[in-house]
Amino acid sequence: MKNEVILNGKIVSELIFNHKMMNEKFYLTYISIQRLSGTEDKIPVMISEKLIDSGINYKNSNVLIHGQYRSHNNHQNDGIHLSLYVFVLQIEVLPEVSNQNEIILKGFICKQPTFRTTPLGRKISDIILAIPRIYGKSDYIPCVCWGKNSYYVSKLNVGDPVHIEGRIQSRSYDKVINGITEKRTAYEISVINFNI
Protein backbone atom coordinates (compact mmCIF):
# COMPACT_ATOMS: atom_id res chain seq x y z
CA MET A 1 0.00 0.00 0.00
CA LYS A 2 1.12 3.55 -0.62
CA ASN A 3 -0.06 6.97 0.53
CA GLU A 4 2.22 9.90 -0.35
CA VAL A 5 1.43 13.61 -0.68
CA ILE A 6 3.72 16.47 -1.71
CA LEU A 7 2.32 20.01 -1.50
CA ASN A 8 4.04 23.33 -2.11
CA GLY A 9 1.83 26.34 -1.48
CA LYS A 10 0.91 29.13 0.93
CA ILE A 11 -0.59 28.71 4.39
CA VAL A 12 -3.76 30.83 4.38
CA SER A 13 -5.10 30.42 7.92
CA GLU A 14 -3.79 30.45 11.45
CA LEU A 15 -3.07 27.23 13.34
CA ILE A 16 -6.21 25.98 15.12
CA PHE A 17 -5.89 23.44 17.91
CA ASN A 18 -7.70 20.29 16.74
CA HIS A 19 -7.02 17.46 19.18
CA LYS A 20 -4.55 15.87 21.54
CA MET A 21 -3.34 12.28 21.31
CA MET A 22 -0.96 10.70 23.82
CA ASN A 23 0.00 14.18 25.11
CA GLU A 24 0.83 15.38 21.58
CA LYS A 25 -1.13 18.38 20.26
CA PHE A 26 -2.27 18.58 16.65
CA TYR A 27 -3.20 21.73 14.77
CA LEU A 28 -5.32 22.27 11.66
CA THR A 29 -4.59 24.87 9.01
CA TYR A 30 -5.16 25.33 5.27
CA ILE A 31 -2.71 25.56 2.40
CA SER A 32 -3.60 27.31 -0.86
CA ILE A 33 -2.33 25.92 -4.16
CA GLN A 34 -3.09 27.43 -7.56
CA ARG A 35 -4.01 25.15 -10.48
CA LEU A 36 -2.77 25.90 -13.99
CA SER A 37 -6.30 27.17 -14.74
CA GLY A 38 -5.94 29.77 -11.98
CA THR A 39 -8.46 28.03 -9.71
CA GLU A 40 -7.38 27.89 -6.09
CA ASP A 41 -7.51 24.71 -4.00
CA LYS A 42 -7.57 25.21 -0.22
CA ILE A 43 -6.43 21.96 1.35
CA PRO A 44 -6.69 21.16 5.09
CA VAL A 45 -3.47 19.99 6.73
CA MET A 46 -2.97 18.50 10.20
CA ILE A 47 0.36 19.30 11.88
CA SER A 48 1.88 17.94 15.10
CA GLU A 49 3.33 20.36 17.63
CA LYS A 50 6.58 18.42 17.17
CA LEU A 51 6.95 19.80 13.63
CA ILE A 52 6.13 23.48 14.21
CA ASP A 53 6.27 26.19 16.84
CA SER A 54 2.63 26.80 17.79
CA GLY A 55 3.58 30.28 19.06
CA ILE A 56 4.54 31.44 15.55
CA ASN A 57 1.97 32.78 13.09
CA TYR A 58 2.60 30.82 9.88
CA LYS A 59 -0.17 32.52 7.91
CA ASN A 60 1.11 33.63 4.46
CA SER A 61 4.20 31.40 4.80
CA ASN A 62 5.26 29.44 1.72
CA VAL A 63 5.73 25.79 2.68
CA LEU A 64 6.75 22.43 1.27
CA ILE A 65 4.85 19.56 2.88
CA HIS A 66 5.40 15.80 2.71
CA GLY A 67 2.64 13.72 4.23
CA GLN A 68 -0.22 11.29 3.84
CA TYR A 69 -3.88 11.81 2.92
CA ARG A 70 -6.07 10.76 5.83
CA SER A 71 -9.79 10.37 6.48
CA HIS A 72 -11.83 10.55 9.67
CA ASN A 73 -15.56 10.11 10.34
CA ASN A 74 -16.86 13.34 11.84
CA HIS A 75 -20.19 13.04 13.71
CA GLN A 76 -22.39 16.15 13.34
CA ASN A 77 -26.05 17.01 13.95
CA ASP A 78 -27.08 16.15 10.39
CA GLY A 79 -25.17 12.86 10.21
CA ILE A 80 -21.68 11.48 9.69
CA HIS A 81 -19.31 13.39 7.40
CA LEU A 82 -16.01 12.15 6.01
CA SER A 83 -13.28 14.63 6.97
CA LEU A 84 -10.22 14.59 4.72
CA TYR A 85 -6.85 16.22 5.41
CA VAL A 86 -3.13 15.92 4.76
CA PHE A 87 -1.33 14.49 7.78
CA VAL A 88 2.02 16.29 7.76
CA LEU A 89 5.18 14.19 8.18
CA GLN A 90 7.66 16.92 7.16
CA ILE A 91 7.27 20.66 6.66
CA GLU A 92 9.74 23.27 5.44
CA VAL A 93 9.24 27.04 5.08
CA LEU A 94 10.45 28.24 1.67
CA PRO A 95 10.99 31.69 0.10
CA GLU A 96 8.78 30.92 -2.93
CA VAL A 97 5.82 28.78 -3.99
CA SER A 98 5.86 26.34 -6.92
CA ASN A 99 2.17 25.30 -6.53
CA GLN A 100 3.08 21.62 -6.39
CA ASN A 101 0.15 19.31 -5.64
CA GLU A 102 0.93 15.61 -6.06
CA ILE A 103 -0.54 12.48 -4.52
CA ILE A 104 0.24 8.79 -5.06
CA LEU A 105 -2.15 6.19 -3.68
CA LYS A 106 -2.16 2.39 -3.82
CA GLY A 107 -5.18 0.72 -2.30
CA PHE A 108 -8.40 -1.15 -3.00
CA ILE A 109 -11.74 -0.08 -4.42
CA CYS A 110 -14.18 -0.27 -1.48
CA LYS A 111 -17.41 0.88 -3.17
CA GLN A 112 -18.68 0.06 -6.65
CA PRO A 113 -17.51 2.81 -9.07
CA THR A 114 -20.16 5.27 -10.27
CA PHE A 115 -20.00 6.28 -13.94
CA ARG A 116 -21.77 9.49 -14.97
CA THR A 117 -21.82 12.37 -17.41
CA THR A 118 -21.48 15.97 -16.19
CA PRO A 119 -23.88 18.72 -17.38
CA LEU A 120 -21.08 19.82 -19.74
CA GLY A 121 -20.88 16.33 -21.28
CA ARG A 122 -17.67 15.11 -19.61
CA LYS A 123 -17.51 11.42 -18.67
CA ILE A 124 -16.36 10.74 -15.12
CA SER A 125 -16.25 7.88 -12.64
CA ASP A 126 -16.28 8.30 -8.88
CA ILE A 127 -14.46 5.75 -6.75
CA ILE A 128 -13.60 5.42 -3.10
CA LEU A 129 -10.18 3.98 -2.41
CA ALA A 130 -9.43 2.17 0.87
CA ILE A 131 -5.81 2.45 1.97
CA PRO A 132 -4.83 0.35 5.01
CA ARG A 133 -2.48 1.83 7.58
CA ILE A 134 -1.00 0.43 10.78
CA TYR A 135 -3.05 -0.68 13.78
CA GLY A 136 -5.83 -2.06 11.57
CA LYS A 137 -7.11 1.35 10.46
CA SER A 138 -7.80 2.43 6.87
CA ASP A 139 -8.28 5.73 5.07
CA TYR A 140 -11.18 6.08 2.63
CA ILE A 141 -10.34 8.49 -0.16
CA PRO A 142 -12.84 9.75 -2.79
CA CYS A 143 -11.32 9.95 -6.28
CA VAL A 144 -12.59 11.23 -9.62
CA CYS A 145 -11.42 9.71 -12.92
CA TRP A 146 -11.94 11.58 -16.19
CA GLY A 147 -12.18 10.66 -19.88
CA LYS A 148 -10.78 7.27 -20.90
CA ASN A 149 -9.85 6.47 -17.30
CA SER A 150 -13.51 6.87 -16.32
CA TYR A 151 -14.61 4.09 -18.70
CA TYR A 152 -11.87 1.76 -17.51
CA VAL A 153 -12.51 2.38 -13.81
CA SER A 154 -16.28 1.87 -14.20
CA LYS A 155 -15.62 -1.80 -15.09
CA LEU A 156 -13.72 -2.53 -11.87
CA ASN A 157 -15.19 -4.16 -8.77
CA VAL A 158 -15.02 -3.81 -5.02
CA GLY A 159 -11.74 -5.28 -3.77
CA ASP A 160 -9.77 -4.61 -6.97
CA PRO A 161 -6.31 -3.15 -6.25
CA VAL A 162 -5.49 0.18 -7.93
CA HIS A 163 -2.58 2.60 -8.16
CA ILE A 164 -3.37 6.24 -8.88
CA GLU A 165 -1.45 9.48 -9.28
CA GLY A 166 -3.19 12.83 -9.19
CA ARG A 167 -3.82 15.97 -7.20
CA ILE A 168 -6.01 16.99 -4.28
CA GLN A 169 -8.78 19.35 -5.30
CA SER A 170 -11.43 21.28 -3.41
CA ARG A 171 -14.81 22.47 -4.65
CA SER A 172 -17.65 24.43 -3.06
CA TYR A 173 -21.27 23.30 -3.11
CA ASP A 174 -24.60 24.22 -1.50
CA LYS A 175 -26.18 21.88 1.06
CA VAL A 176 -29.82 22.46 2.07
CA ILE A 177 -30.64 21.40 5.65
CA ASN A 178 -34.13 22.06 7.02
CA GLY A 179 -34.71 24.68 4.33
CA ILE A 180 -31.46 26.51 5.10
CA THR A 181 -28.69 26.58 2.49
CA GLU A 182 -25.13 26.13 3.76
CA LYS A 183 -21.92 26.58 1.79
CA ARG A 184 -19.70 23.52 2.11
CA THR A 185 -16.43 22.30 0.62
CA ALA A 186 -15.80 18.84 -0.81
CA TYR A 187 -12.32 17.36 -1.19
CA GLU A 188 -11.38 14.64 -3.67
CA ILE A 189 -8.50 13.32 -5.72
CA SER A 190 -8.50 14.26 -9.38
CA VAL A 191 -6.86 11.24 -11.02
CA ILE A 192 -4.21 11.90 -13.68
CA ASN A 193 -2.70 8.42 -14.06
CA PHE A 194 -4.40 5.13 -13.23
CA ASN A 195 -3.08 1.55 -13.14
CA ILE A 196 -4.08 -1.78 -11.64
Confidence of residue 47 (pLDDT cuts 50, 70, 90): very high
State the maximum Cα–Cα separation within the chain, in Å, rounded to a whole number.
51
Rounded to the nearest 10°, the torsion over CA 164, 126, 45, 88 is -30
Cα 132–Cα 133–Cα 138 angle in degrees, nearest 5: 50
End-to-end CA distance of the chain: 12
Ramachandran assignment for 78, one of left (phi > 0), alpha (psi -120 to 50 degrees), beta (any other)? alpha
pLDDT for 34 beyond 90: yes
149-162 average pLDDT score: 92
H or E, element range at 130: strand 123-132
How do strand 2-11 and strand 62-76 relate by DSSP bridges? antiparallel
State how far the Cα of 10 lies from the Cα of 31, in Å rounded to an integer: 5
The answer, yes or no, to whether residue 55 has pLDDT greater than 90, is no
Residue 167 has pLDDT above 70, yes or no: yes
> According to the model, what pLDDT value does residue 186 have?
86
Residues 83-137: tens digit of each pLDDT:
999 999 999 999 988 999 999 999 999 999 999 988 888 899 999 999 998 888 8
Highest mean pLDDT among 71-75, 82-86, 176-180: 82-86
- Among the residue ranges 7-11, 19-23, 131-135, 138-142, the one predicted with the least confidence is 131-135
Q: Which of 27, 133, 47 is nearest to 90 (CA)?
A: 47
178: left (phi over 0), alpha (psi -120 to 50) or beta: left
Handedness of CA 76, 80, 167, 27 (dihedral sign): positive
pLDDT computed for residue 77 by the predictor: 65
Q: What is the mean pLDDT of residues 177-196?
A: 85
